[in-house]
A and B are shown apart, each in its own frame.
Chain A
Amino acid sequence: MRRPIVWSALVLALAGCGGRPSPPPVSVTAEPEERLPEVATREIQVRWQTPGADGRLQPELEVRAARGRVEPDGQTGDLEEATGTLYREGEARATFVAPLVTATRASQQLVASGGVTVRSIRPPGVTLRARTITWYSESHRVIARGDVWLEQKPPGARRAVLWGGPFESAAFDTQIERLTIP
């Protein structure tokens, strides 16, 4: 049975969040928040959440982008210069960076393209690069396509314990513990 998904797309015009420049030195400190630059960064954030075993909402996907477009119904977003985090069971498992990202709630898929880099969080040390990746949230699967390169170098390791490529495609799970080629 398909679990209900709570999906929200937040388009935030944040004053001073993220990569904002350092505020200029000021001598007035009474109300510092009012002295921040009016618009330092325009950031788009897409967040998916899903109920966990205890019924509480837990994160499933977070994407931040410098530019983009989110449809009015909040179901689909096209993001540019994006960074994101993939979750499983509420825990952050991998991050990614991609020039283009399309998140589609209807199919519960995320497609990142234009040269994508995925890095594992837990276990750490796995890096995967590909032209395109597609993440299927329901099955916790990621398919990488086009010039796929991978490397595993655990923290503290003298050298990479696994590396290879290029491959036409590779499939792995959200937490990047199992990998299949082709």
Chain B
Amino acid sequence: MCRGLGVYLVLIGVVGAVGWAGRADPQAAPKPNRAIHFGDIVLTGFERVEVALGKSAKATGPNTTVDAVDDARKSSARLQAALMTAFLAPKDPDRVERVEAQGNVRFQGSRPASGGAAGSQVVRGTGSKAVYYRDRRLLEMQGPITFAADEPAPGGTGRQTVNGRADRAVYDEAKNVLSLIGDVQATVVTPQTTANGSTFSGDRVDVDMSSNPYTVVISVTAPERGRVNIRLREPENEPQEGTQRK
């Protein structure tokens, strides 16, 4: 996971929570209108769509939306952008192989919380370009990107979140790993941290969200490029700050 140069800093036992103010609320989702079911995705919110039957669908409009639901895994993914093109799998034309998105890209994925905890895990991201490999359940997003993930904290008290920005990101939905690449600035908030959370930066940050609490791996190409600032909540609610620079 940590390749090549630099110093590797492994933080284990950081995140894992819910409580994200803007998390998905399926009840509040607008009822699809002007919907096109294309393979195993649903296109809505478009102003125009061009379909090459059996091959692809190109949709445009500022709120063009692709929804992909996986009933077996109880997970869902929503991608929004100004321009999106969905391609059917050549050998399985009732499934979409990938979706290419461009312009004000927004992603939101939801799945059951990791570690068997109650509630859901939500991953959000924004960027300028993205490719969602539906068959591989992999999202590649070009930046600058912002990201946020949250789910219930271990023990069921509060939520744990991670959010920040980076040059690009890869979200492996199948492995439940979020990789943030290039000038990463991130903040982790857990019931054990102060409200401002712990901050860290690096050239690459991999967040393994399949574990609860999350496992975070920070990679840097030069010592001065990595920074971790852990702020833990004290019993009397006075934050104890410790800064570690690598």
Chain A residues packing against B (C-beta within 8 Å): 123, 126, 152, 154, 157-164, 167, 176-182
Contact = CB atoms under 8 A, between A and B. Distances in A.
A126 B36 CA distance: 14
Given A158-B94, A182-B48, A152 B35 contact: no
Interface stretch (B51-59, B122-130, B177-185): B51-59
B24 interface: no
Interface residues of B, number: 20
B48 A123 contact: no
Contact of A161 (B34, B47, B52, B94): B94
* Residue among A123, A176, A177 with the highest chain B CB neighbour number at 10 A: A177
Nearest to B50: A180
3 tightest A-B CB contacts, nearest first: A164-B36, A179-B51, A161-B94
A180 B94 contact: no
Contact of A159 (B46, B47, B49, B94): B94
Interface SS of chain B: helix, strand, loop or mixed? strand
Contact of B51 (A123, A178, A182): A178
Interface in B123-173: none
B1 to A, nearest CB: 38
Contacts of A176: 53
A157 B53 contact: no
Nearest to B49: A181
A175 B11 CA distance: 59
B6 interface: no
A180 B54 contact: no
Contact of A154 (B48, B51, B52, B54): B54
Nearest to A178: B52
Given A154-B93, A157-B94, A158-B94, A163 B37 contact: yes
Given A154-B54, A181-B36, 7 more contacts: A154-B93, A157-B94, A163-B36, A177-B52, A178-B52, A178-B53, A180-B50
Interface in B17-56: 34-39, 43, 46-54
* Residue among A123, A157, A164, A167 with the highest chain B CB neighbour number at 10 A: A164
A162 B51 contact: yes
